[in-house]
Chains A and B, each alone.
Chain A
Amino acid sequence: DVQLVESGGGLVKPGGSLRLSCAASEFTFSSYSMNWVRQAPGKGLEWVSSLSGDTYYIFYADSVKGRFTISRDNAKNSLYLQMNSLRAEDSAVYYCAREPCSGNKCDGFDYWGQGTLVTVSS
């Protein structure tokens, strides 16, 4: 079965940094676009960033642009999110999610990890 396992969350002070990881298994990782989606406590889903399988296409939400960096290591079947200059409003559960895409057509986030909690507080 497809598995996505996030790690790296925790408590960090405002202005601090954190690196999230997502370990993928049981599918051809390099063939899929990968995404980070977050959910603040009691709130809705917010898309954070997307990275195509070949790393050609990279997109960020305006709320994190310039502070967060998405990357992947296809040899290690892993997705990353480097988060710098963290703010209280970045506190959320961060999910990684897989999306099959063919050309410009993408079919939705078909598999999600269980999430990792990031808390930004002094």
Chain B
Amino acid sequence: QSVLTQPPSASGTPGQRVTISCSGGSSNIGSNTVHWYQQIPGTAPKLLISSDNQRPSGVPDRFSDSKSGTSASLAISGLQSEDEADYYCAAWDDSLKGRLFGGGTKLTVL
């Protein structure tokens, strides 16, 4: 069971805006940067959001994140069929002295 909690699934129709939540604690999300990854099944994960809501080159601005206290969210606007993938949040944990991943959210584009 992950210390960072994500909903196991999410869905939306093309063009919609969807959000994926990530809930943690004071030692991880509450005091460290949250990163988001996209993984298409059978392939390696890809960094979507790095520190300070920065998107690596090639990641469209339809992807954005936010954080409040010990929770974070990934928002995807203008949903496209190619966005169908698994999404993971991650953060350093000061107590565990390690990196945590959320359990992952499977996004389905209906």
A residues contacting B by CB (< 8 A) are: 35, 37, 44-47, 50, 59-62, 95, 105-110, 112-115
Known A44-B103, A45-B37: A95·B45 in contact at CB below 8 Å: yes
The secondary structure that dominates the A interface is strand
Interface range on chain B (Cβ under 8 Å from partner): 20 to 34
Q: Is the CB of A95 within 8 A of B104?
A: no
Q: Is the CB of B92 within 8 A of A106?
A: yes
Q: Is the CB of B104 within 8 A of A45?
A: yes
Q: Is the CB of B44 within 8 A of A110?
A: no
| CB-nearest residue of chain B to A105 | B51
Residues in A neighbouring B90, C-beta threshold 8 A: 45, 47, 108-109
Q: Is the CB of A45 within 8 A of B44?
A: no
In the complex, per-residue mask of B82-102: 1 if CB is within 8 Å of any chain A CB, else 0: 000010101010001111111
Q: In whole angstroms, how far apart are the Cα atoms of A110 and B86 in the complex?
A: 17
Q: In the complex, how many angstroms separate the beta carbon of A60 from the nearest chain B beta carbon? A: 7
Residue in A95, A107, A112 whose CB lies within 8 Å of B54: A107
The reply on B10 being an interface residue by CB < 8 A is no
| CB-nearest residue of chain A to B102 | A44
